Structure 1
Amino acid sequence: MSTKILIIGACGQIGSELTMKLREIYGNDQVVASDIREGKPELMASGPFEIVNAMEFEQVAQAVEKHQIDEVYLMAAMLSATAEKNPAFAWDLNMNSLFHVLNLAKEGKIKKVFWPSSIAVFGPTTPRINTPQYTVMEPSTVYGISKQTGERWCEYYHAKFGVDVRSIRYPGLISWTTPPGGGTTDYAVDIYYKALEDKKYTCFLAENTALPMMYMDDALAATVAIMQAPAEKVKIRSSYNLGGISFTPAEIAAEIKTHIPEFTIDYAPDFRQAIADSWPASIDDTAAQTDWNWKHQYDLKSMTQVMLDNLAISLSK
């Protein structure tokens, strides 16, 4: 029997690329994209789309029933830097949308749920180097607090009600197809645009701020892998650490200079520096490697090559 998928928040930074990836795998008609507003023309043209407000239970339930959905990928969220400006709304969006989907799964209306967590669940008291799967978690941002709470609820719904919910803690994600979406790690996307367009960049983080990052193709591969893994292989039902590459603004700038020698960078840290300082510098994802054979493919060099090549083409259009 074919799998019918609903993506909530399909027009966001991850959702837009995940939609196309899942349509490639399962077939265009099997993957229903949804968001509070319409997305890019190619996403809208490639398969079914529904306007769904993730905060409205009836809208989510109607979409699930109408399309006889088996699996939901809940990608709607307000990210770190944006959430700090509107904490109450961020909390409502990030938490209520999760409850809606978990409750539909509890009622047997959905068979499987994917919900993304984040390195934002960690805080200033967390060990920063090779942050372990199980460790101190005292997040200091609204986004981090909501993701940490969400992890506990996912674990609870699995333990109490048998809900098949799966999650990974995304690091900073880097992609050339979607513009930055308001996250603290977004400098690592913006820097490529500015390198090609202006040959210079002013970074809102200090030069030696190391953060865990990942090229989007790796994040999508991990998302598909955990959802396709047999249930017994998914041993952690809060959220898995996901490691990729770790680098500083100075290191990414140096790699860009190997392609664009005239590129220059300067630094003007703002409020996002405090957020970055509260997060890990690198991640230990041994549990994901062991349980469902996770392995990232891209390093800083190969990612920079792909980013500059593809952005040069898209910016010239």
Structure 2
Amino acid sequence: MNNKTIILILGACGQIGRELTVALREIHGTSHVIASDRYANRTDVPNYMQIDVLDGERLKHVVKQHGVTQIYLLAAMLSAKGEQDANAAWNLNMQSLITVLNIARDEKLDKVFWPSSIAVFGPRSLKFNCPQETRTDPETVYGISKRAGEYWCNYYYEKYGVDVRSLRLPGLISASAPTGGGTTNYAVNIFHEAIKHQYFECYLEESTVLPMLYMKDAIRAIIKIMSAPSEKIKVRTAYNLGGISFAPCDLAAEIRKYIPDLKVVYQPDHRQVIANSWPASMDDSGARNDWGWAHEYNMAAMASAMFESLKAIKKPSLDHYPEFLIEDVAAI
């Protein structure tokens, strides 16, 4: 094991990656956390390099050259977008993980983090307080790839001793990055549209309850599980991670405390079918008992934090983000 931690974040420009990069650099220092994505010319990001996660040779070279000890693999094609091109979604989501796991094995990395998702569950999974161990029958290529990935993580741990850790993330809410191709993204977009237009068209039914988590809680969970002693990690597929659960109508009501004139029109589309197959709430007692997970933000605190964050953005819109950022995120 190396005496110093050198972290490589793959997908650092995405929804999770942007905030996780900042948080890890506060702990380890900028020089010890390499931010990477498949796009060039990111002069605004310190210690950044261009890496395509499907380029195994390039990735292995970077790991060896810089003495990387931990990899956080965040790049993925999400649920709704993945249904538009199943082969591309499977290739990106699955091959990137296998590549990273092989490098971790061969180069004897200390740890790997890879996010799973509530998308591993399906319509025959338990709807409320969905347990850690239950029937999983995902109906999207994203969910299928995440469930298969969980088994690969467990396989590499059992067979090769690769210390890979994973969380089944719910919908993530953040003001610092755009959304991209996920079924739960309405819970971010509604804030932007409420501020800009006091009007929002929701692609889910108003009563569709889904598990959600404010991004700061998600970042804390990732750092906490990666900091836990190995003997505390008893689930080597992926831990359920819960937080708050609400429906679009609940979130709209909370936002109206700040923007009373907000009008929401519900026009369910193909994403409604995906949402219907997912649990409404999660039993994350395993994470709470094994390594001390606990969320801090309820819906009211999350909404307050979102509005405070968006005040700092002169134009609360997705238009000011580069086009490529819309795709390269890791959520659901």
Do both proteins adopt the same fold according to a TM-score greater than 0.5, normalized to the shorter chain?
yes
For the 8 Å contact 1:11–1:40, the answer to whether it is kept is no
Render the CA deviation track for 1:64-103: whole Å, top value 9, x for unaligned. Answer: 1111000000001111111110110110000111011111
Q: Name the counterpart of 1:203.
A: 202
Give ranges in structure 2 of 5+ residues lacking alignment: 317-332
Give the match for residue 226 of structure 2. Answer: 227
Shift of residue 36 of structure 1? 0.4
Worse-matched range after superposition: 166-175 or 18-27: 18-27
Question: Over residues 14-48 of structure 1, what are the superposed CA-to-partner deviations in whole Å (9 max), with x where a residue is unaligned?
Answer: 11111111111110000001110148664x1xx31
Question: What residue in structure 2 maps to residue 284 of structure 1?
Answer: 283
- Aligned 8 A contact 1:167 1:240 in 2: yes
Tell me whether 238-247 or 2-11 shows the greater mean CA deviation.
Answer: 2-11
Matched, 1:49 2:48: yes
Cα distance, 1:12 vs. partner?
Answer: 1.1
Query: Match of 2:4?
Result: 2
Aligned length: 314
Structure 2 letter corresponding to 1:132: P
Relative to structure 1, is the Cα distance of residues 39 and 312 closer, same or farther in structure 2, using a 3 angstrom cutoff? Answer: farther
Aligned to 1:107: 106
Q: For the structure 1 residues 240 and 39, does the alpha-carbon distance in structure 2 shift closer, same or farther, using more than 3 Å as the test?
A: farther
SS at match of 2:181: coil
Structure 1's unaligned 5+ residue stretches are none
Point out which structure has higher relative CO (alpha carbons under 8 A, 6+ apart): 2
The partner residue of 1:37 within 32, 36, 39 is: 39
Is residue 11–residue 39 contact of structure 1 (8 Å, CA) maintained in 2? no
What do residues 261-292 of structure 1 show as CA deviations (whole Å, max 9, x unaligned)? 11111100000000000001000100000000
Q: Which has the higher helix share?
A: 1
One-letter amino acid of the structure 2 residue matched with residue 28 of structure 1: T
Q: Mark the CA change 1:314 to 1:203 in structure 2 (over 3 Å): closer, same or farther.
A: same
1:316 shift after superposition: 4.5
More displaced, 187-196 or 8-17? 8-17
Instruction: Identify the residue that residue 12 of structure 1 maps to in structure 2.
Output: 14
- Structure-1 residue corresponding to 2:142: 143
Q: Percent identity?
A: 51
Q: What does 1:129-278 correspond to in 2, within 5 Å?
A: 129-278=128-277
RMSD of the alignment, in Å?
A: 1.2
Cα distance in structure 2, aligned partners of 1:278 and 1:80 = 12
The runs of 4+ residues in structure 1 deviating greater than 6 Å are none
Residues 168 and 241, structure 1, Cα contact 8 Å, conserved in 2:
yes
Would the aligned equivalents of 2:228 and 2:291 in 1 still touch at CA under 8 Å? yes
Moved more, 58-67 or 149-158: 58-67
**Alpha-carbon separation, structure 2, partners of 1:243 and 1:267:** 26
Instruction: Give 2:330's aligned residue.
Output: none
Is the contact between residue 80 and residue 144 of structure 1 (CA under 8 Å) also seen in structure 2?
yes
Partner of 2:83: helix, strand, or coil? helix
Q: Please state whether the residue corresponding to 2:112 is helix, strand or coil.
A: strand
CA distance in 1, matches of 2:41, 2:163: 29
Is contact 2:129–2:283 with CA below 8 Å preserved after alignment? yes
